[in-house]
Structure 1
Amino acid sequence: MTPAIATFPPRPATPPPADPLWRAAQALETGFLSELLRMSDPGAPAAGFGGGAGEAQFRSFLFEAQADRMVAAGGIGLAQRLYAAMADAR
């Protein structure tokens, strides 16, 4: 007998971009991804180009920009789930 394959529920439909609740859900996903990127950062390389103290100061902006682009490209589906949960609570 073949084991059953787990299936995931379909992603909810993407709401209109002007919806403030949708923008809030995207902001939460951006913050989450930015924090994940920060925690997974190995730090500046020991050799080669290194920005020193300036790089350390502005590294969080890089993570925020990367996370923002990830969400704009579709993200990981967290914003859709958050939006669906918050829309149900309206």
Structure 2
Amino acid sequence: MMQAAQAGAASAANNAKNALSARDMARIDGAANEFEAMFLSEMMKPMFEGLSTEAPFGGGKGEEIFRGMMIQEYGKMLSGTGRIGIADAVRAEMIRMQEQANGQTKEKGGIN
């Protein structure tokens, strides 16, 4: 009985993914991953604000610019591991909202 329920849930998830085009899924995946990377970058910024710069090459506008870029890359790297889980939650919610919007459009007789 439990295997039947799991198979039903897996089938429902596959049907939901099939309802959206591959292009839509790729866009959703990209947006979810970008959101997670940006979120992680913003959460890491305060960690680097208290760091002092070392002479003779430390400091200045250049370091400010490149430190921000470095933090963004750290966010992308952390997001790329797939272990944080924010992108998964965002992706699932975006799929749910897209399906809901598609369902409402069909109910009103509109064209997708």
State TM-score, norm by structure 2.
0.57
Stretches of structure 1 lacking an aligned partner (at least 5 in a row): 1-14
Q: Which has the larger radius of gyration?
A: 2
Higher relative contact order (CA 8 A, sep 6+): 1
Please tell me the residue identity of whatever aligns with 2:92. Answer: A
List per-residue Cα deviations over 1:48-86 (Å, max 9, x = no partner): 675211211211100000010111111410000000001
Does the alignment pair 1:37 with 2:15? no
* Aligned twin of 1:71: 79
On the 8 A contact 1:25/1:83 being kept in 2, the answer is yes
- Match for residue 22 of structure 1 among 11, 29, 40: 29
How many residues are treated as equivalent by the alignment?
A: 75
Trace 1:41-60 onto structure 2 (pairs within 5 A). 41-45=48-52, 47=54, 51-53=58-60, 54-60=62-68
Percentage of identical aligned residues: 27
Provide the alpha-carbon RMSD of the alignment: 2.4
Q: Secondary structure of the residue that 1:76 maps to in structure 2?
A: coil
Please tell me the residue identity of whatever aligns with 1:26. Answer: N
State TM-score, norm by structure 1.
0.70
Stretches of structure 2 lacking an aligned partner (at least 5 in a row): 1-16, 99-112
